[in-house]
Structures are given as C-alpha cells and as structure tokens.
Structure 1
Amino acid sequence: MDTGDATYIKQLNRRILIEEIIKNISLSRSDLSRKTGLNKATISAQVSELINEQIVVEKTEGESVTRGRKPILLEINGGAGYSVGIDIDEHNLHFVFCNLKGELFHKEGISLKTVDFDEVMKQLLDYLSPAVSTFNGQFEPIGLVGIGVGIHGIVSNENQIVYTPKQQWSHYHITNLLKEHFDTPVYVDNNANLSVFAEQVYYEHIPDLFCITFYSGIGLGIMNNYQIYRGYQGFAGEIGHMIVEPGGLPCPCGNHGCWERYASEKALQQHLKEWYPDDAPLETVQHLLQTNPDHEVMEQYLDYFAVGLNNIINIFNPEKIVLNGTIINGNTAFIENLEQKLVSKFNNYLEIRASYLGEDACALGGASVALKNFFGVNMLNHVNYHYFKSDMLKPKRSTSS
C-alpha cells in the first residue's frame, strides 16, 4: 500500500467515526468498533487524534452497566467551537450560532436599512464582528469553524451570487469579503437549499427530501442521496418562476405569470389588502382559515398553490415534502385543505408537512453546512438530539442596526 492509499484510508476511517459519534450523541470505543466494523487499534489511534484536537471529549457514564469500571463515552466537544449561519433576505439579516454539536445557542434578527449590497455588507460586518470576537473567547480552543450564508436568489456552484430578483444583485462575491474579515471558510447557497439541508439534519435524515419555502417568494430545495441537488451551475430549484398563468402578472425575473406571483405569502397578503385594506394581512389569513376557509381569496390562493405543488410531485415523485412559511407552519388545517386539491391519480408521496424549523431553517442550514465541512463528513445527523422539540431558545425581536 502506498502513502496515498494509506492517507485516504485514514481520512475515510476518521470520517466514519465522526459521523457515528455525531449521530449517536455518545459512544464507547467498543460501540464504535461494533457499529463501524473497524478494529480497536484503528479506533484507538483515530480517537486519540480527535481528543488531541479537542474535537472529541471523554465522559464517564453516570450509571455503570456492570460491576466493573464505568464505560468511557466519546462525544463531540460542543464547547470547543461554533459555526455561524446567515439568512440575507430583502428586509432582514437573520443570524444563528451553533456549537460543534449543532446546538443553537444564540440568534439575532436585524432590519436592513437598504438593499444596496455594500451597505448590507457593512451592516452584516458591524453586527457579526463583535459577536464573533465575543464567542471566540467563549468557545475555545477552536472558535469559529465556518460561516454559511443563504441568499434568496440564484447562487452558482462557485458560491457567486448570480442574481437576486428582489435586491437586483448580480455577480457579487460574499465569500472573499467574509473570508478575509474572519479568516474562516465561507459557504454561500440558495436559501431553499440551506432550508432543506437543515430539515434533513435536524428532522428527516432520509436520503431524498424536498422543502418549499413560501415567504416573499417561492424556492425549492432538493436533497438527493443526502446531497443538495443544484443542477447545472447551481440554478436548480427556482420553482417560483415556473409559469402557471401564461400572460399573467409580471415578475421581476422577466417572465409573466410566475407561480410566486400567485402562491407566495407576499402575493396572498397583497390580495387580502385589496379586500381588507385596514386589517393586518397575516391576522386576516388566520381569521379566514378559522372562520371562512372557502373565502374567494383563500380558495384562489389554494388553487394556485396546488397547481404548482401538483407539478412538483408529478415531475419528481418526492418521498416527503416540507412546506415552510409563516402561514403554513403550525397550521394543520391549511395542509389538509391543500391536499384535498391534489386529486391526480399520479400524485404519489409519503407525507406533506409543515416545517418545524420555520424562519430559522435557512440560517440553521448555513451553520450546518459549515459544521459538515469542518468535520469533513458526508452526512450530518442531529435528529437524535431533539433540539427543537421544545422551545429551546425564544426568538429575539428584530432590531435596527
């Protein structure tokens, strides 16, 4: 065996061990040997390196299973470092901070003053720089391991912003700016891609998963065999610009009749403003869903919603679809009404459900991508930690900066 082969095998074994430790929360060395099939000598050598790097720590089990010594368990050293996820939308910056175990320990929302790219970057750096300085002092010895950024638009496979319909950004590089400022790896992707990745990491560790985001626009994130599917040059998933009404309403993308002009939450709220100009759109939606779900506005909205969803199901035949939007999340009746309109005999899927991560999904996906790359693993699985089964961290109100 030459040196190249030995190095490759060593890296492969390291990846396998880290994936198992993350997935199972804590394991003994004998557990690792049994689950991975690796011999004890290999595990001992690899674990020693991970402990020396302070990526893994040893802990004694509280109760001994036998009369002998209490088993020594291995866990990821959550307090040694952290990652940052950032969701850049038209009007807000949303930050999340996760430790090496993937646990969210801080988040913040900031209202943007402008859509000008340079000004947005200034606001981002003005907030993030002191935050990173603070948390680097708390998470030692590794500190910041990476930053993942979500963009509501097209991002190339080279992390370049190709186009954002709302801000009209074109051919901008965020990666170089953040890398130089924070001296850490930076990953940029479409917000829907990061949202579906977060759903897979925290809730649905299945190889193929779809997530559709409905806020100001509509985006589709696709996990294919545990990997984000980006298509040729990263343009996959721009499902909001599927035409559902030929010659219909104009869209910033240049087409007419795009799905997001009829089925995004922004479109619904604008339509409701015409009917109820003095009422808050979101409250109006909730009221209509409870008292008059057959209202003309809601009925038309669900019709357009179903048209696009029907197309996605028939084209891709997904196992599970997660819908993420302010109106959808936590609203079982909405999805029940929607599924009644999916009547095609070709519609074949296991489940359609609302997101449990909500508006945090994109930023959590960014933080998770940074962790995945730091560990050098193929898959990141935090499902067994049950981080979001309870109100772990109440959201902070957006602030101006």
Structure 2
Amino acid sequence: MDTGDASYIKQLNRRILIEEIIKNISLSRSDLSRNTGLNKATISVQVNELINENIVIEKTEGESVSRGRKPILLEINGGAGYSVGIDIDEHSILLAFCDLKGELFHKTWVPLETIDFEEVMEQLMNHLTPAITQFNEQYKPIGLIGIGVGVHGIVSNENEIIYTPKQQWSRLHVENVLKETYNKPVYVDNNANLCVFAEQVYYEHIPDLFCITLYSGIGLGIINNHNIYRGYQGFAGEIGHMIVEPKGIPCPCGNKGCWELYASEKALKKQLNEKYPELSPQESIQQILEEGVDSEVLDYYLDYLSIGLNNIINIFNPEKIILNGAFINGHTDFINNLERKLTSKFNNYLQIRASFLGDNACALGGAAVALKNFFGVNMLNHVNYHYFKSDLLEI
C-alpha cells in the first residue's frame, strides 16, 4: 500500500468515527470499536487527533457497571465552534447559529426594505458581523467554521445565483461577498434543498426523502441516497413551474398555468382575502379546519395541490414527503383532506406529513451543510438529540 492509499484509509476511518460519534451523542472507545469494526489501536490514534483538534472531548459520566473506573465517553465538542445558516427571502433574512453538535443557540430575523442585491448584502453583514464577533469569543477555540446560505431561486452547482423570481437577481455571487468578509467556507443552495436536508438531519435520517415548500412559490428538495439531488447544473426541484393548466394564468417564468400559481400558499392567501376579507388568512384557515365550514376556496386549492402531488408521487415513488407551509404546519386535518384527493391506484408512499421545522428549516439546513463539510462526513445525523420535539425554536 502506498502513501496515498494510507492517507485515504486514514481519512475514511476518521469520517466513520465522526459520523458514529455524532449519531450516538456520546459513547466509549469500546463502543466505537464494536460499532465500526475498527481495532482499538486505530481508534486510539484517531480519537487522540480529534481531541487535539478540539473536535471531540472526553467526559466521565454515570456509574460503572462494576467496581473500578467510570467509563470515559466521547462526544462532539459543541462549545468549540459554530456554523451559521442564512435564509434570504424577499422581505426578510433569517440567521440561525448552531454549535458543533448541531444545536440551535441563537436566531434572528432581519426585515428587508429593499430587493437590491448590494443593499441586501450590506444589511445582512450589518447584523452578521457583530454576531460573529460575539460568538467567536464564546465558542472557542475554533469559532466560526462556515456559512450556509439558502436562496429562493435557481442556484448552480458552482454556488452562483442564476435567477430569483422575487428579487429578479441573476448571475450574482453571495459566496464571494461572504468569503471575502469572513474568510470562511460559504455554501449557497436553493432553499428547498436546504429544507429537505434539515428535515433529514433532525428528523428523518432515511436515504430518500422529499420536502415541498409552499410559502410564496413551490419548491421541491430531494434527498437521494443520502445526498441532495441537484440535477445536471443544479436546477432540479423547480416543481412549482410544472404546468397544470396549459392555457392558465401567465407566469413570470414564461409559461402559463404553472403549479405554484394555483397551489402555493401565496395563491391561497389571495383567494382567502377575496372570500373572507374580514379575516386574516390564518384565521380563515383555522375556522375552515376547526369548524368544518364548507369552503370552495380550500377545496379548489387542495384540488390543485393534489394534482401536482400526484404527479410527484407517480414519477418518483418517494418513501416520505414533507410539506412545509405556514397553513399546513400544525394542521393534521389539512393533510388528511389532501390525502383523500390522492385517488390514483398508482400512488404508493409511506407517509405525507407537515414539517416540524417550519420556516426555520432553510436556515437550519444551511448551518447543517456547513457542519457536514467541516467534519468531512457523508452523513450528518442529529435525530437522537431530539432538539425540536416541541416549540423549541423560539430562541
């Protein structure tokens, strides 16, 4: 075996060990050996390096099963550093800060008064810079390890913003601006991709997962064999521009009758405002779902939502589909009504459910992508940590 082969094996073993430590939260060297099949000498060398790099720490916890020393447990050194996830939408930016164990410790919403790219970047950094300065002092010795950015539009495989329908941004580089300022790795992706990644990391550690975002447009994030599926140049998942009415409403994309013009929550809000002008959209939805009020508006909306969903299920045969929208999240009846409209005998899936992460998903996914790349792992699994089992996102 030559030097290159030895180096590759070492990196492979390191990745395996980090993934195992993250997944199990805390475990001993003996546990690592049993779980991975690596010998104790290899584990000892690798673990010592990770400890020296401040990535892993040792803890003595609990009572030993027999007389003698308590077991020494290994876990990720959460307080040594952190990542930042950023969700850039039309009217606001969400910043999410997660420690090295993936736990959200700070988030902030930044309202936007402009869609001008340079002004948005300036406003972003006006909030980001003091926060990074503060948290670099608290999370030592590593500090900031990277930044993940979600954009509501098409992003190429080279991190370039190709087009955003809301802001009309084209051929722009968030990555360059943030890299030059903070000198840390920056990863830019479509918001739906980051949403599905966050769902996989925190809730659904399965190899194939779909997440459909429904807020102002419709996006599809696809996890295929534990990786985000981006397509040929990174444009995959623009499912909102699937045509459901060939001679329908004109869309800014150039087509007519795109799915998101009928089945996004923006479209539903418009119809609800016309039908129930005295109520807010949330109040009207709540009344319809809780009081059983017959609503042509909701039925019309669910008809179109089910058409697109039926197409996705029949084309891809996903195991689980997560729907992420302000109306759907928290409303089981919404999902039940939708599933009743999926009548095709070809529909085959395990579960459709609402998101538990909601509008925090994109920023959390950005922070998680930065962590994954920092650790150099193939998979990031925080499911066993149970971070968001209730309303814990209000930080």
Q: TM-score, normalised by structure 2?
A: 0.99
Corresponding residue for 2:350?
Answer: 350
Structure 1 Cα separation of the partners of residues 150 and 358 of structure 2: 15
Match of 1:374, SS state, is: helix
Distance in 1 between the 2:270 and 2:114 partners?
Answer: 22
Give the secondary structure class of the aligned counterpart of 1:364.
helix
Matched residue, 2:146: 146
Aligned mates of 1:319, 1:131 — CA distance in 2: 39
Counterpart secondary structure, 1:96? strand
In 2: Cα distance, 1:200 partner to 1:278 partner = 39
1:83 equivalent to 2:117? Answer: no
> Are 1:70 and 2:70 matched, yes or no?
yes
- Residue 278 of structure 1: how far off its partner (Å): 3.2
Residue 293 of structure 1: CA displacement? 5.0
C-alpha distance after superposition, 1:10-35 (max 9, x if no partner): 00000000000000001100100111
Q: Does 1:237 align with 2:261?
A: no
SS in 2 for 1:232: coil
- Corresponding residue number in structure 2 for 1:263: 263
- 2:9 is aligned to 9
Aligned equivalent of 1:368:
368
Q: Is the 8 A contact 1:105 1:393 kept in 2?
A: no
Shift of 1:241: 0.5
Q: Amino acid of the residue matched to residue 216 of structure 2?
A: S
Cα distance in 2 between the residues matched to 1:59 and 1:205 = 27
Distance 1:283 1:255 in 2: 33
Task: Give the number of aligned pairs.
Answer: 395
Aligned counterparts of 2:293 and 2:31: Cα–Cα separation in 1: 53
1:332 Cα offset (Å) = 0.3
What's the counterpart of residue 399 of structure 1? none
Identity within the alignment, %: 76
- Give the whole-Å Cα distance in 2 for the aligned partners of 1:108 and 1:228: 26
Q: Which amino acid aligns with 2:388?
A: F
Q: Distance in 2 between matches of 1:261 and 1:282?
A: 19
Paired residues of 1:218 and 1:260 also in contact (CA < 8 A): yes
RMSD after superposition: 0.9
CA–CA distance in 2 between the matches of 1:293 and 1:78?
Answer: 49
The alpha-carbon deviation at position 291 of structure 1 amounts to: 2.3
Indicate yes or no: 2:206 matched with 1:214: no
- Deviation string 1:90-140 (CA, Å, 9 cap, x unpaired) is 111011000000000000111101111111101100000000000000000
Matched, 1:334 2:338: no
Distance across 1 between alignment mates of 2:293 and 2:25: 44
Tell me how far apart the structure 1 counterparts of residues 163 and 393 of structure 2 sit (CA, whole Å).
33
Q: Distance in 1 between matches of 2:139 and 2:220?
A: 34
2:33 is matched with which residue? 33
**Deviation by residue 1:144-186 (Cα, 9 ceiling, x = unmatched):** 0000000000000000000001110000001011011011000
Gaps of 5+ in 2: none
Q: 2:154 corresponds to which letter in structure 1? A: I
Find the counterpart in structure 1 of residue 180 from structure 2: 180
The separation in 1 between residues aligned to 2:294 and 2:3, in whole angstroms, is: 69
Q: What is the distance in 2 between the residues matched to 1:274 and 1:267?
A: 11
Q: Distance in 2 between matches of 1:293 and 1:255?
A: 35
The answer on whether the counterparts of 1:51 and 1:57 sit within 8 Å (CA) in structure 2 is: yes
